Structure 1
Amino acid sequence: METTQERLDNADQLGIQLIRFLRLLERATHQFSDKPHGVEKAGYMLMAHLVMNGPKRASALADAVHSDPSTVSRQVAQLVRAGLLERRADPQDGRACLLAATDKGSQLFDDMRAKRSLHLDQMLASWPLDRRQQLVELFDALNTDIENYRPQMATAIAEQRKATR
């Protein structure tokens, strides 16, 4: 059975690799970014969410992407001006509106996604498919845990463990 110190050492190693990954990702973003239609990375993430998950109210979109509503509002305004998103009446509540990708926005998303997939495929060309699938599964699990992590819960658990020792 592993010790707390071994788990903390492993977490430290993971932290180092995550920082390395983020630096490399930032470099790749600058290297391959041509910002079509002036779309920034954050705006692209909003558009991607709407293309993949369908229309949403601005508040629900902000929650879904873990962002501040005022920030989302500014990014949405830019995407609407560019013709990539549109506001539609909410059929459930005529006073509210839903944000949805336009045909132009969906096409841009599809084009950028295909380009990204091509680059990733080339980067991982030497990896066997089963290892690539394992990476997808581990990334999915990591992202889910990051989304669900609540620091106050971890603090409470750590304090409980101390008390039971």
Structure 2
Amino acid sequence: MPAQLPHSDDAPHGSTDQVAAQLVRLVRLTARAKSRMTKVGPDSVERAAYAILFHLIDRGPQRTSQLAEMLHSDISTISRQSSTLVDHGLVERLADPGDRRASLLAATSEGRRVFETNRERLNHWLEWVLDEWSDEDRLAVNVLLRRLNDRIETCDPLAAPPRPEHEHSTDEV
């Protein structure tokens, strides 16, 4: 008989299993909300392309290779999505001053306007979600999420240290 996985609700609240379950739930719910808000924007741009627009607004003009690295995506995917953004006038290609053979992608004023409109809609929704939270709770979740995100960015899941022997699952009878 195969081993039965414990239900995450049965795990202690501070356990790794409980944190993982809540993270999966958060990602799923956030993706659902984002999908409903920007399924295909009013400008017919797929929502995945908005991540490119965000990074260009947040970090300034960048090469496609930089965007692919930051977004953990293939260059071909970033190229396709950025071409759509260029076609819709949200992003433009500029000559790279450091290498005239290369180009940089930069947000246009229309791209900034569309991004700001989406940001305002998201913030309005989040304000409603958090309307019963105290300032202290909002600060605490922001600090903890920033700390978690910073750590996730620096810990490659493929380079995780080996688990101690006593933690390996066994098929005991």
Q: Shared fold (TM-score greater than 0.5)?
A: yes
- Residue 77 of structure 1 and its aligned partner are, at CA, apart by 0.7
The CA distance in 2 between the partners of 1:61 and 1:134, in whole Å, is 30
Residue of 29, 33, 43 corresponding to 1:28: 33
Q: Structure 1 runs of 4+ off > 3 angstroms?
A: none
Partner residue, 1:3: none
- Residue 26 of structure 1 and its aligned partner are, at CA, apart by 2.8
Report the 3-state secondary structure (helix = DSSP H, G, I; strand = E; otherwise coil) of the residue aligned with 1:96: strand
Per-residue CA shift, 1:48-70, capped at 9, x if unaligned? 11011100011011111111111
The CA distance in 1 between the partners of 2:36 and 2:96, in whole Å, is 39
When normalised by structure 2's length, the TM-score is 0.81
2:107 counterpart of 1:101: yes
Residue of 65, 70, 77 corresponding to 1:64: 70
Report the 3-state secondary structure (helix = DSSP H, G, I; strand = E; otherwise coil) of the residue aligned with 1:131: helix
The CA distance in 1 between the partners of 2:144 and 2:108, in whole Å, is 33
Between Structure 1 and Structure 2, the one with more helix by share is: 1
Residue of 136, 144, 149 corresponding to 1:143: 149
Partner residue, 1:86: 92
In structure 2, relative to structure 1, the CA distance for the partners of 1:121 and 1:65 (3 Å cut) is same
Compute the RMSD of aligned alpha carbons.
2.0
Partner residue, 2:45: 39
Residue of 17, 20, 45 corresponding to 2:22: 17
Partner residue, 2:117: 111
* Structure 1 residues not aligned, in runs of 5+: 1-5
The CA distance in 2 between the partners of 1:153 and 1:13, in whole Å, is 22
What does 1:115-126 align with in structure 2 at a 5 Å threshold? Answer: 115-126=121-132
Kindly provide the amino acid, as one letter, of the partner of residue 48 in structure 1.
F
Per-residue CA shift, 1:28-50, capped at 9, x if unaligned? 12332351211222100110110
When normalised by structure 1's length, the TM-score is 0.85
Q: How many percent of aligned residue pairs carry the same amino acid?
A: 40
Q: How many residues align?
A: 154
- Residue 133 of structure 1 and its aligned partner are, at CA, apart by 1.5
* Structure 2 residues not aligned, in runs of 5+: 1-10, 166-173
Residue of 127, 132, 153 corresponding to 2:138: 132
Kindly provide the amino acid, as one letter, of the partner of residue 158 in structure 1.
P
Kindly provide the amino acid, as one letter, of the partner of residue 72 in structure 2.
H
2:162 counterpart of 1:158: yes
Kindly provide the amino acid, as one letter, of the partner of residue 89 in structure 2.
G
